[in-house]
Structure 1
Amino acid sequence: MLQENMLIWRDKQQQEWLRIGRQEGKLEGKQQGAASILTQLLRRRFGDVPEHVIERVAGAELPLLEAWTARILDAATLDEVFIS
């Protein structure tokens, strides 16, 4: 009985770890996709993009990437995209 309970608990833990891993993977994929799109849009709108900007975009979290992407249409300069 105890051994069965331990096996059930272990299986539930493994399922939970898999679920968490999938969630993290999805979020990371969304972040990478948003960063890629933003970088493409920045290049299309402003031409050459400095490496430090590309690195900043690559390291940003999804909500910030979404805010920056929304600003591209109204920004007259690259710096205006990143104004807080």
Structure 2
Amino acid sequence: MQRRKIEVFGQVQGVGFRYFTERLAQKYNITGTVQNVEQHVEIYAQGEENDLKQFTQAVIDGASPASNVTDYNIEQQDTDPSLTRFRTI
């Protein structure tokens, strides 16, 4: 089990990015959160290594058809056993 903080920059607000991120989390069995922060989107994602890799790549590739990801940061985090689902904040 791994956990990451993913910050995604570009045209990622007002284009359904959080909604599509939540759908991807369901597809890849990821728990955590997604939220708009200032001019970017912040995701805390936790899951099995392979699922987390696929989820992260799908998010970076543009979770929403209308989004345009121009940059991103990924930071490893300690796992949080209290995370049981994925939700939009």
- Could you tell me the TM-score, scaled by structure 1's length? 0.30
- More strand as a share of residues: 2
- More helix as a share of residues: 1
* Bigger RCO (CA 8 Å, 6+ sep): 2
Larger radius of gyration: 1
